[in-house]
Amino acid sequence: MFKKIGLIIIFLLLVSCVNENVIDENISDDVKPHETIDTNTVYAVGSYDWYPYQMMDENKQPYGMSYDILELILEDTDFNVVRNKVEPFRRQLQDLETGKVDVFVGLYFNEDRDKKYIYTLPFSKDEVCVFVRTDNIISFTSYADLSEFVGLIPDGASYGDTFENNKHLLNLREVKDEKHRLDLLLNEEVDYYISAYGDVMDDANQYGYEELITCLDKKIQVNDVYFVISKHSPLADHIDYINEQIQTLSDKGILTEIKESYMKNED
């Protein structure tokens, strides 16, 4: 009788150990909460093609002025910035919300995101333009002027609350590939293309289209660009320090110098 009870207890202990090992093996490093990894490691994400803020090089490694500025801000701290591989935009926002990543290195402001994440002070300004073919200039003084035309924007793009509040007036297609967007415009399949000035002109220069498109004089808007931090990140406790560093770099003209260095390199 006692022998049977002893065997049952040993069996239950073995099952418990096996289950614990299985659970541990199924938890990968990239989904563990920060407190179980390294709280000094900051995982940064960005877009794959938003010139000059966030891009990928020929080896698909993230680079751009946003990463440079973030690393400059944190260089005198114990934080180590890791540039995560670029994932689909909406997935990265989900990862930011859950704390799987720490910071998105450059986004515009909108009210919905402000409820989910922590915005820093802005570190740059970005012109959002209406691009048209040089042989098909259209009048644009208000969003209503565009309602009779067909336009496009990058897939998932949001250009701030003013744009979002007027978006219902527009007939827009969302297209992921940057060359395909330009081709649609030049092939007269759409009448206009809304996006950030520097980003579109960088693409146009790359494909030899710079003389074929132009930005209308009136801008959709000029947006501030922010670092956006997860509420679950250790960076959240240092938001005052981060904002102080952004302000100092701005006052010294260093933020402008970094942006101009990228623009000159493109020229």
pLDDT score recorded for residue 110:
86
Number of domains in the chain: 2
Are 35 and 121 in a shared domain?
A: yes
Are 170 and 243 in a shared domain?
A: no
Domain membership of residue 53 (yes or no) is: yes
Question: With contact defined as beta carbons under 8 Å apart, do 182 and 119 qualify?
Answer: no
Are 146 and 94 in a shared domain?
A: no
Domain membership of residue 16 (yes or no) is: no
CATH number at residue 34: 3.40.190.10
What average pLDDT does range 146-161 have in this prediction?
89
Are 63 and 82 in a shared domain?
A: yes
Tokens 């802005």, located at residue: 122
> What span, in angstroms and rounded, lies between the C-alpha atoms of 223 and 167?
16
Q: Cα 125 vs. chain centroid, distance in angstroms?
A: 15
Work out the mean pLDDT of the chain and round it to a whole number.
Answer: 86
Are 39 and 119 in a shared domain?
A: yes
Are 197 and 243 in a shared domain?
A: no
Range of the domain at 206: 133-222
Query: Whole-model pTM?
Result: 0.75
Question: For residue 95, which of 234, 230, 238 has the smallest C-alpha distance?
Answer: 230
Domain membership of residue 25 (yes or no) is: no
pLDDT score recorded for residue 155:
86
User: Within a 13 Å sphere around the CA of 4, how many CA atoms are in the beta-carbon half?
Assistant: 1
Domain membership of residue 10 (yes or no) is: no
Count the neighbouring beta carbons within 10 Å of the beta carbon of residue 185: 23
Residue 39 has pLDDT above 90, yes or no: no
CATH number at residue 145: 3.40.190
pLDDT score recorded for residue 23:
31
What average pLDDT does range 72-93 have in this prediction?
93
pLDDT band at 29 (very low <50, low <70, confident <90, very high): very low
Question: For residue 104, which of 77, 80, 86 has the smallest C-alpha distance?
Answer: 86
Which is more confidently placed, 157 or 187?
187
pLDDT band at 88 (very low <50, low <70, confident <90, very high): confident
Are 195 and 143 in a shared domain?
A: yes
